[in-house]
Structure 1
Amino acid sequence: MQQSQPTLKATCFGEILWDLFPGKDKTAGGAPFNVGYHLQQMGINVHMISAVGQDDLGDALLQKLNHWTISAAGIQKNANYATSTVVATIDEDNEAHYEIKESVAWDYIQLRETDLQQVQHSSTFVFGSLAARHSVSRNTLFALLEESRYRVFDVNLRPPFIDQELLIALLKKSHLAKFNAPELQLVLSYLGKNYNKPKDGVFFLQDYFDVPQVILSQGASGATYYEGDTVYSLPAAKVTVQDTVGSGDSFLAGFLSAHLSGMHPEATLEQAICLSGFVTSQSGATPNYTQHDIEQMKTKYRAQV
């Protein structure tokens, strides 16, 4: 029997910030923040672990979480470091690029007993590599990983904050890892490997790191989910692209909300693609929508494929 949604809990760890796009109002962002929003929209109870400064920007992020009915109990307020801001630009291909400031509040996330307990009682723990760029947050992350039952690594690389040893250490801790094609090739290159077929590269990483599940997102080419040695692939949704900001985050949330509910892997991948497609057709990473909107998107998608 499918598990009921209200009992499902997810903890998201990492950066929360304000994206500053030229000529636009600031928008709340950060990959774990975006994933948390979409998980909440899809019926998962979300606990967010991060940090903001004791400033107006930090207060505004907490208000945003409250508006989304996401618990802010795991958001620490740091008197010594400011709330994070990121200068973002969109290129001619609608791809986002980010200039991420250092020494901000989420670089200094402290380990707290209440967060350890939240992780222990969560169905999944979602994390990335960016928030581990500083030793304080990195040490907190690895401590939390030890208490989590289902560890989901959103690789989500952000130059220049790419640490080969850190990536390898995090992959060794993961039950599910999500890559895009360039990220997959980069990690393989660190290990001295190069494969003509992405499938062979994924199988190598699964074996090398003992990662049972891998998602490979390929933008307009669709996505593939590897569960052990079983492979599921689906094409992308055909939509009019507004921008791609947060598309990968919504994809992961769509996948996890279905996977944690016990849906079949192909249906899980379909939900990920449809949620990501819907978000890509809207402006911004966290547009307002309901689960009914995504069900309608699935109907349109099935007519396409």
Structure 2
Amino acid sequence: MNNIISYGEILWDLLPSGALPGGAPMNVAYHLQQLGQSPAFISRIGLDERGKDLLTFLKEKNVDTEHVQLDYHLPTGIVHATANDHGEMQYDIVAPVAWDNIAVADDTIPLVKHAQYFIFGSLATRNKTSRDTLFTLLEEARTKVLDINLRAPHFNRAIVESLLQKADILKMNVSELELITGWFADFKSSADRIAMIQEKFDIPTIIVTLGADGALMNTNGKLYRHEGFKVKVADTIGSGDSFLAAMLTNIIQQRSPEEALTFASALGALVASRAGGCPDYTIDEIHELINNDNTVRSTK
């Protein structure tokens, strides 16, 4: 049985060094599988070589592809990815593509209804078809996990606020935190920003990644922070996606917030030290990073 469902884009990241499988929901599904979970992935590909190659990749990684739909008209998604002067990735997300056209299939509603966690983001709302399908599935979902993943110009405030209203767990980066809270007021600290979103949208758990500076987690009103693990960064693709997969795995395993934040921070750093969003790694390598540095504290 699939306890976790990931919904949204699947694509190829076209990097200067070559093409790599990508899309945040697909990356999360990959990392969940790596961590011993059994996720299902709902998306859509074109009837082309790129789509065929993505299916082959997922099957090789033992990720469930049963709910990846085929589109007879639109091509498989691609993204032109380049690094800026700070090493952060910039994305040109081509449209329209197959994952803009995800439909409500006969098996998707019962699939979502019986899973404990449903992961979704904002990018899959850029087109009406996939957006309508998402909101239909959100009506059936139990624990709703919003990986906000804002990519200009593919979002707007009204839809983002609608997604926030659905979320039980919210994961975002610090730039997204500042952007969203800036719609409402001026804040002096990330803690104040998190508290505002938590109160306004009634979200029990909010997780904010801070890049090289670690991550914050506010769950049920208590704030935790990890200072991050120092690694030599290859690229940041998929780092946040692996972080989310690790957080959910630890939540399922009923680990403490401190343990979950430490483990997720370690995996995010490990993935950032390797090329692409879905590198190979072992759980032992995550624990090696943890054993070298474990600096979590909680604050009121």
TM-score class, shorter: over 0.9
Deviations 1:225-283 (A, max 9, x none): 10121111111101111111111111111111111111111100011100001111112
Tell me the CA shift for residue 113 of structure 1.
2.5
Deviations 1:54-96 (A, max 9, x none): 1111111111110111111110000010101111101222211
Tell me the CA shift for residue 209 of structure 1.
0.6
What's 1:171 paired with? 164
Contact 2:3–2:38 under 8 Å retained in 1: yes
Q: Classify 1:92/1:114 alpha carbon distance in 2 versus 1 (closer, same or farther; 3 Å).
A: same
Whole-angstrom CA distance in 2 between matches of 1:226 and 1:194: 20
Q: Classify 1:303/1:201 alpha carbon distance in 2 versus 1 (closer, same or farther; 3 Å).
A: closer
Whole-angstrom CA distance in 1 between matches of 2:161 and 2:296: 38
What's 2:98 paired with? 105
- Residue 240 of structure 2: SS of its match in structure 1? helix
- Structure 2's unaligned 5+ residue stretches are none
Whole-angstrom CA distance in 2 between matches of 1:297 and 1:9: 28
Aligned length: 297
- Residue 294 of structure 2: SS of its match in structure 1? helix
Deviations 1:179-203 (A, max 9, x none): 211111111122x211101111111
Q: Map of 1:21-100 to 2, 5 A cutoff?
A: 21-22=15-16, 24-100=17-93
Tell me the CA shift for residue 107 of structure 1.
0.4
**What is the TM-score of this pair, normalised by structure 1?**
0.94
Q: Map of 1:144-155 to 2, 5 A cutoff?
A: 144-155=137-148
* Root mean square deviation of aligned Cα: 1.5
- Residue 249 of structure 2: SS of its match in structure 1? helix
Whole-angstrom CA distance in 1 between matches of 2:162 and 2:217: 22
Tell me the CA shift for residue 301 of structure 1.
2.5
Amino acid paired to 1:118: L
Q: Classify 1:108/1:304 alpha carbon distance in 2 versus 1 (closer, same or farther; 3 Å).
A: closer
1:194 to 186, 190, 195: 186
Tell me the CA shift for residue 25 of structure 1.
2.3
- Residue 211 of structure 1: SS of its match in structure 2? coil
Q: Map of 1:247-266 to 2, 5 A cutoff?
A: 247-266=239-258
Whole-angstrom CA distance in 2 between matches of 1:214 and 1:76: 31
What's 2:12 paired with? 18
Whole-angstrom CA distance in 2 between matches of 1:304 and 1:158: 30
Contact 2:224–2:296 under 8 Å retained in 1: no
Contact 1:153–1:177 under 8 Å retained in 2: yes
What's 1:245 paired with? 237
What's 1:273 paired with? 265
- Residue 172 of structure 1: SS of its match in structure 2? helix
Is the aligned partner of 1:162 residue 2:155?
yes
Whole-angstrom CA distance in 2 between matches of 1:14 and 1:174: 16
Tell me the CA shift for residue 132 of structure 1.
0.9
What's 1:296 paired with? 288
State the percentage of identical aligned residues: 37
Contact 1:123–1:260 under 8 Å retained in 2: no
Contact 1:8–1:260 under 8 Å retained in 2: no
Give 4+ residue runs of structure 1 displaced > 3 Å after superposition.
none
Whole-angstrom CA distance in 2 between matches of 1:301 and 1:155: 29
Tell me the CA shift for residue 35 of structure 1.
0.7
Whole-angstrom CA distance in 2 between matches of 1:286 and 1:300: 24
Is the aligned partner of 1:138 residue 2:135?
no
Amino acid paired to 1:86: V
Amino acid paired to 1:105: A
Tell me the CA shift for residue 155 of structure 1.
0.9
- Residue 13 of structure 2: SS of its match in structure 1? strand
Whole-angstrom CA distance in 2 between matches of 1:241 and 1:99: 22
Deviations 1:117-147 (A, max 9, x none): 2112222111110011111000100111111
2:108 to 102, 115, 130: 115
Tell me the CA shift for residue 303 of structure 1.
8.6
Tell me the CA shift for residue 298 of structure 1.
1.6
Whole-angstrom CA distance in 1 between matches of 2:107 and 2:260: 31
